[in-house]
Amino acid sequence: MTDLPGYPSRRSFLKASAAGVALSGLAASASAEEKTPPVPLDQYERQYLNAEEWAFIMAATARLIPSEGDGPGAIEARVPVFIDLQLAGDYGTADDWYMEGPHDPTAEPARGWQTPLNPAEVYRQAIPTFNSWCETTYSKSFADLDTAQQDEALTALQKGQAVLAPELRDFFTILLANTKEGYFADPQYGGNHGMQSWVYIGFPGARAAFREWPERHNIKYPLGPVSISGERA
Amino acid sequence: MARQDKKRDVVIVGLGWTGSIAGIELAQEGLDILALERGHDQNTVPNFEYPQQIDELKYGVRLKMMQKPSHQTVTVRRSGDETALPYRSLGSFLPGNGVGGAGTHWNGLNWRPQPEELRLRSHVRENWGEQIIPEGMNLLDYPVTYDEMEPFYTRFEKVAGISGKAGNLNGVIQEGGNPFEGWRSEDYPMPPLPTTWDSTKFQEACTAAGLHPFHAPAGIASTAYVNPYGMQMGPCNFCGFCERFGCYQYSKSSPQTAILDALKRMPNFEYRTESEVLRVELAADGKTATGVTYWDEKAGEEVFQPADIVILSSYQLNNVHLMLLSGLGEAYDPLTGEGTLGKNYAYQMNGGVTLFFEDDNFNPFVGHGANGVCIDDFSVNQNDFGALGFIGGSYWRSGTFNGQPIRSMPLPKGTPGWGAGWKEGIGKWYGHAMSIGSHGSHMSYANNHLDLDPTYTDRHGRPLMRMTFNWQDNDLRMNQYMKSQMEPLAASMNPTSMQSGFKDVGAQYDVRPYQTTHNTGGHIMSETPAEGAVNKFSQTWKAHNVFAMGAGNFVQNTQYNPTGMVGGLAYHTVHAIRTQYLSNPRPLV
Ligand SMILES: Cc1cc2nc3c(=O)[nH]c(=O)nc-3n(C[C@H](O)[C@H](O)[C@H](O)COP(=O)(O)OP(=O)(O)OC[C@H]3O[C@@H](n4cnc5c(N)ncnc54)[C@H](O)[C@@H]3O)c2cc1C
Ligand code: SF4
C-alpha cells in the first residue's frame, strides 16, 4: 500500500494518537496532479453498448441528471462511460447472482429480480423496445425528442405506461440506479469525472479519516474530496 | 470417490465470529483443529488497506464482501400458498463470506438481551397471562438465564473490545449508562466514543423529555486496547466506511482484530479457505457425526474430513441448511408443530424518522457503524404488553454511520427522484439530515419457518433452503407504537421538516431493500428434544458431537442486534465443551 501523502500508516497512526497529536489534514501536503483530459464522449470507445444504445444512454442520463442548474449533470460526470463499463463487467453479466430457472418475471416486484435476463441483456432488449414506443408515440426515437418529451417519455417508462415485457420491467429502476451510481462512485469506474458530484454536495470521497471531527459540532467539513487514486478537487 | 483426509479432533465449519471463538478456545485445549471456510482468506493487511477499501460502489453497492447468491442463496415465499422464488441478488439481508464472516463488515452494535427477553414467555405469563399471546406465535423461554450468561457476555465483550458505559453494575444503576439493561459484573472494556452532532441533538431532546439516553455499545475502539488474547486495537477515526467494509486500521471489532492472528499462531490450528462444507456425515446409528464432506474448490473435488467433534459456525442460514441436508433433526412442520429444524425463524422489526434541518451541518460521512446515542425507554422490559396490545419493544438510536452518497441520500418528501429537482435537492439537503431509528424485536410464529425448496438447487445440486416469512401483526403494532412515540420527540427538535418510515399492519415482506442481517432461529435451543434442535449448550439433540452456534439458537429474536448474544452463547458453549464434554463425550443434557 502506498499511503496518500498526509495519511499516517497504521503504526504512525497509533503512535500519533497515543501521543495525543491531532492528525493533520492532507490538503496542505496536496499537490494537484495535472491529468490528461479524458477522450470526449463522442470519441469514447464503447465496451458494451452499441451505437443506438449509446445514443439512448447519453440522452436518457442527461435527463435523469440534467446539466442545467447548480452541480454537474450526468454528461459532465461521464455517467454514460460508467454505465458502459459496468454492463461490460460482472455487474452486467450478473456473475454473483443466482440466475438458474425456472423464472417467473411476472412475480410482484417485492419478490426481487426474477427475470431470466441479466442487467446487460435488460438494457440490450429494453432500449430498442422503448425507442419503438417513442416512435409510436412521438414518431421519433428517444434521443431525437425534445427535452420536455424526453422527460414525459421517461416518466411513462417509470410508471410502467410505456409497456415493456415483464422480463424488462425493472429497466427504469436499474437505469436510474446505475445513473446515480455513476454520478457518485469513485472516478476509477469511469463516472463522477473530476469528483464534481462530490464537490457539489460536499462529500469528501476517500478521505476517510476524521479523528478530530466528531465533536466539531455543526461546523461544515471544509476540505474537498480525494479519490482512491489520489486525485484531489 | 471423495478424497479422505486425516482425522482431526475438531472440524469447524465457517470461520466468522463463532468459528473463530470455537477455534481459539478449543485450540487452548491442545486439540488438533481444522477450520473450513467456503470463502476467500482476508486480513486487515492487505485486504482492507487504505485507500482501496474506501470504495462505496464495490463494497457498499456491489457487495463484494458478501455471500454470492450464485454460490449459495435461499428461496423466499411469504406464505405457504405462494411459490417460493430465489433470492437472486442480495437485498434484505447480506450474509458474509470469507474469513471473518459477517463479523468483518458488521456495524459493531454490541448488545446483551435484557434478562426478561431470555424468559419472555414466563415474563408474559407472570404479568399478563398467556391469553395475551396471539394465536400462531411460538413464544418461548430460552433454556439459559441472564445470570448464567453474564460471565460469557463479559468475556465476549472483552475479547471483541466493546466501548460503552455500564448502566447497571452489579445491580447499582450508573449515571449515563442504560438504566434498563441487565446487571453487569464489570464496566465495558473501553469508554464510550465521542458524540456527533446528530446524537447530541437527540440526547438533548431525550433528556428534556425525561428519557434516559446513553451511548450505543460499540464494537469500535475508543482508545488503544489489548484484549485477553493479546490482540491490539487502535482508536477509530470515524472514517465512515464501516458497515459493509473491513476496517483499514484495526479499530472495528472483528475476528481479524480480536482473534485470528493469535489463533493462526497456534500450531495445532489449521484453516482452509475455498472449502465449502456440503453436509455433516452421520454414523450408521445416527447418534454421532463422523465428520463432514466439503468441496475443495482449488482441487475441484469432494473431500471427506473425519473428526471427533463438528462445530457448525457457518451463520444462521447456512447452519440450518446444512442441518436439514444432513438429517441433524426432523424438519419442522408448521401444521402439526412437529419437527424442530427450521422452526421459529425470526427477523427484526425496524422503523425510523428522518429529520431535515436546513441550517445544521451533520457531516454524515463522519461516523462509524455503531455511532450514536440510544434510549431503551420503549424496550421490552419497559412496555406494558397488556395495555399496549403487543409483545415486544425496541431500542432507538441516532448517530451518523455512513454518509456515502449512493446509499445515503435522504431527501424531503416531494423531492423528485430524478431530473433538475432531484439535483437541486441533493445540493440543498446532503449533510442537513439526521435520523432516529427504532430497532425492534421480532417474535417467532408457526408460519415463519425454513425448510428445503422442492424446485431450486445450488451449484452442487443440493436443494436450496426455502424461507417462508412474512411480517406479523404483533410486531407491526409494536412498530406503529414506536412511530406514535418517536414522532412527537422528533418534532420537539424543531426540524425544518421530517418524515417517518414505519411498516404498518398489512405490510408484506419485500426482499429488495436492506433491512438487517439479523436472521434468527431455525436451530433453536430448548429444554427438550421435542421443542428445539439443540440443548442449552448448542449441542444438537440428534448427534452429541455436533454443536451448532450462532443466532440459529435464538428462540425468538430480541430487540437488539444479535452478536452480543451470539458471542456470549459461543463462549457458553465452548466452556461446556472444555469443562464437561471433552473428558466424557456424551449428551450434556
Ligand atoms: C452489514 C451487516 C451489519 C451487521 N451489523 C451488526 C451489528 O451492528 N450488530 C450485531 O450484533 N450484528 C450485526 N450483524 C450481524 C453479525 O455480523 C452476525 O451476527 C455475526 O457475524 C454472526 O456470526 P457467525 O459466526 O454466526 O457468522 P459469520 O460471522 O457470518 O461467519 C460465518 C462464516 O461461515 C462461512 N460459511 C458459510 N457456509 C459455509 C459452508 N457451507 N462451509 C464453510 N464455510 C461456510 C461464511 O463464509 C462465513 O465466513 C451485521 C451483519 C451484516 C451483514
Ligand atoms: S469507522 Fe472506525 S471502526 Fe469503522 S471502519 Fe472506519 S476506522 Fe474502522
Cβ-count burial B193-212 (b if 16+ within 10 Å, e if not): bbbbbbbbbbbebbeeeebb
Is residue B356 a contact partner of residue B432, using CB atoms and an 8 Å limit?
yes
Contact B237 A109 (CB under 8 A): no
> Counting every residue, how long is chain A?
233
C-alpha to C-alpha distance for A52 and B580, rounded to whole angstroms: 71
Cβ-count burial B370-402 (b if 16+ within 10 Å, e if not): bbbbbbbbbbbeebebeeeebbbbbbbbbbbbb
Predicted local distance difference test score (pLDDT) of residue B1: 63
Q: Tell me the CA–centroid distance for residue B334 and ligand 1, in Å.
A: 27
Question: Tell me: the pLDDT tens digits for B439-448?
Answer: 999 999 999 9
User: pTM for the complete prediction?
Assistant: 0.95
Nearest alpha-carbon partner for B479 in B375, B348, B371: B348
C-alpha to C-alpha distance for B187 and A139, rounded to whole angstroms: 73
Predicted local distance difference test score (pLDDT) of residue A35: 67
Residue B507 contacts A where some CB pair is shorter than 8 Å: no
Mutation test of the interface with chain A: which of B58, B363, B458, choosing the one with the most A Cβ atoms within 10 A? B363
Question: Tell me: the pLDDT tens digits for B501-554?
Answer: 999 999 999 999 999 999 999 999 999 999 999 999 999 999 999 999 999 999
Ranking A9-13, A159-163, B39-43 by mean pLDDT, the lowest is A9-13
Phi, psi for residue B462 in degrees, rounded to 5:
-85, 145
Question: Tell me: the pLDDT tens digits for B86-103?
Answer: 999 999 999 999 999 999
Predicted local distance difference test score (pLDDT) of residue B2: 83
Average pLDDT in chain A: 89
Predicted local distance difference test score (pLDDT) of residue A163: 83
Which residues does chain A have within 8 Å of residue B45's beta carbon, measured at their own beta carbons?
1
Question: Tell me: the pLDDT tens digits for A90-109?
Answer: 999 999 999 999 999 999 99
Predicted local distance difference test score (pLDDT) of residue A6: 36
Predicted local distance difference test score (pLDDT) of residue A10: 37
Is residue B229 a contact partner of residue B259, using CB atoms and an 8 Å limit?
yes
Question: Tell me: the pLDDT tens digits for A136-160?
Answer: 999 999 999 999 999 999 999 999 9
Average pLDDT over residues B221-238: 98
Average pLDDT over residues A161-182: 97
Q: Tell me the CA–centroid distance for residue B219 and ligand 2, in Å.
A: 10
Atom of ligand 1 nearest to the CA of B275: 43
pLDDT value at A182 more than 50: yes
Residues of B with active-site annotation: 518
pLDDT value at A17 more than 50: no
| Element holding B457 (H helix, E strand) | strand B449-457
Question: Tell me: the pLDDT tens digits for A116-136?
Answer: 999 999 999 999 999 999 999
Is residue A63 a contact partner of residue A145, using CB atoms and an 8 Å limit?
no
Phi, psi for residue B298 in degrees, rounded to 5:
-70, -40
- What's the grid cell of residue B394? 425496541
Predicted local distance difference test score (pLDDT) of residue A5: 36
Contact B240 A208 (CB under 8 A): yes
Atom of ligand 2 nearest to the CA of B369: 4
Q: Which residue ranges make up each domain of chain A?
A: 12-95+113-198
DSSP-derived letter for residue B115 is H
pLDDT value at A23 more than 90: no
| Nearest ligand to residue B161 Cα | 2
pLDDT value at A67 more than 80: yes
DSSP-derived letter for residue B112 is P
What are the residues facing B311 on neighbouring strands?
B12, B547
Residue B49 contacts A where some CB pair is shorter than 8 Å: yes
Average pLDDT in chain B: 98
| B497 Cβ contact list (under 8 Å, min separation 6) | B355, B356, B412, B413
Average pLDDT over residues B369-378: 98
| B108 Cβ contact list (under 8 Å, min separation 6) | B218, B219, B220, B242, B252, B253, B368, B369, B370
Question: Tell me: the pLDDT tens digits for B311-337?
Answer: 999 999 999 999 999 999 999 999 999
Contact B89 A204 (CB under 8 A): no
Task: Mark which residues 69-108 of B lie under 8 Å from A by CB.
Answer: 69-70, 73, 76, 83, 85-89, 91
pLDDT value at A22 more than 60: no
Which residues does chain B have within 8 Å of residue A186's beta carbon, measured at their own beta carbons?
54-57
Predicted local distance difference test score (pLDDT) of residue B130: 98
Average pLDDT over residues A46-52: 98
Question: Tell me: the pLDDT tens digits for A25-41?
Answer: 343 334 444 568 899 99
Contact A1 B240 (CB under 8 A): no
Give me the CATH topology for the region B3-581: FAD/NAD(P)-binding domain (3.50.50)
Which residues does chain A have within 8 Å of residue B508's beta carbon, measured at their own beta carbons?
110
